[in-house]
Structure 1
Amino acid sequence: MQVENRFDVLSGGVDDPNINAHVAKKISRLSELSTAEIFDLKTEIESELDNLFERLTAQGVDLESSLITPEGFPRSDIDVLQVRLLRRSINMLRNDLRAVIDRAQELMASHFQKLDAKTRRVDDGSAVNYRIPFALVTEVVPGSPAEKAGLLHHDKLVRFGNIHAGNNQSLSALGQVVKNSEDKALAVRVLRADNRFRNLTLTPSKHWAGNGLLGCRLVHV
């Protein structure tokens, strides 16, 4: 029966003793890992690399240092085999780290594509039934864009353009939409005092006798 030794590692004969077996197993299952697990693996590989570089430095060499004397003999001041093993392990883990980063980027790109598609569906008024109020109309100025749109005192906003209960950021997001939508028609959905929903069209504008683009007062609910 052949006995394995450290030289076998250099030719792939056995598992690399310098690489944590748990990390190596996760690397072999890269395609099966979730995004969170992949980011954890990235951190683990980086930690392993730091450890390997420290061990290499402790030998008094780096990745480029010559392992032979000017006369062509192996250096006697270092463990040449150990240095070669460490360099091999570092190069392997560097390649693995690149693969992990590439896989993470693939998963993140896929995630954001799905999120973007979902956002488009949410922003499509025909696909979502907006029902949760996020703002209360406490005043409507006569002759204002809000009044012309049919907005009433005590109406509760459930949609204003693409703003809804989940993204209004205490109305700061709504204010930004109003500012960016001057003279552009916005779909507005309100819940009336009679507990019925109404769909309106409001066009923010400065072209009226009062101040502001809406002519109404809103409070966050």
Structure 2
Amino acid sequence: MGDNIHAPTVASGPTSGPVQRDWSKLSMPDLMQEKEKIEGELSALSTVLNSHGVTMRSTLTTFDGFPRDDIDIPQVRATRVRMIHLQNDHKQVMQHLEKGLHAHFAQLQQAQASATTNGTSVPSTAPPVAPPISVADASALGTPFAKVNSVEPRSPADQAGLQAGDLVRAFGSVHWLNHERLSKVAEVVQQNEGRAVLVKVSRKEEGGSQTTELELQLTPRRNWGGRGLLGCHLVPL
């Protein structure tokens, strides 16, 4: 009977506290995993605050200065502290992801700067300069973040040309850095019912190793004969 019904099970996230992690030593895939862990724990902790009917800014005292007796004040305080640590970690991770993107584009520009003259590669004398980039530009890298698990016949997804096995690189404005476990895809779908959404996918050819990059127009709609607005099932990678 000692269980607290306001404390859902929270997956253990990145260590936060007095010992600061050296995010610079992590690879881009590892940083992405840390980002997902942090966002998952923040989401779970938000449900704890919601269960008490409070936010990060809600007062914990009554109008006359006494502690509120309708909430578990120690748990709310502990949850807020943990969320602050996680938010700081998230900011650090995103900064290192942006640095990684800058480095990636610098490498691309360096490769493009090497001109081929009479079959001989002549490197450019000018040092490569990475173009300005933010996390919002990350979709340009096209890293897949979801897989099409199934597509219903005659559904909007089927009519758009989606196939099971396709890897989603962009869904409207959603890409690998901001999909938040596909929750943002659901938002785009709801906000664009009846309007075409650009979906970029990678498709591996049957019986071969070649991959084709496709840009499809998918229009979410109801009453197509099945459930949902798309008629397909996406799973995060």
TM-score, normalised via structure 1 length:
0.46
TM-score, normalised via structure 2 length:
0.43
Structure with a larger share of its residues in helix = 1
Pair member with larger Rg = 1
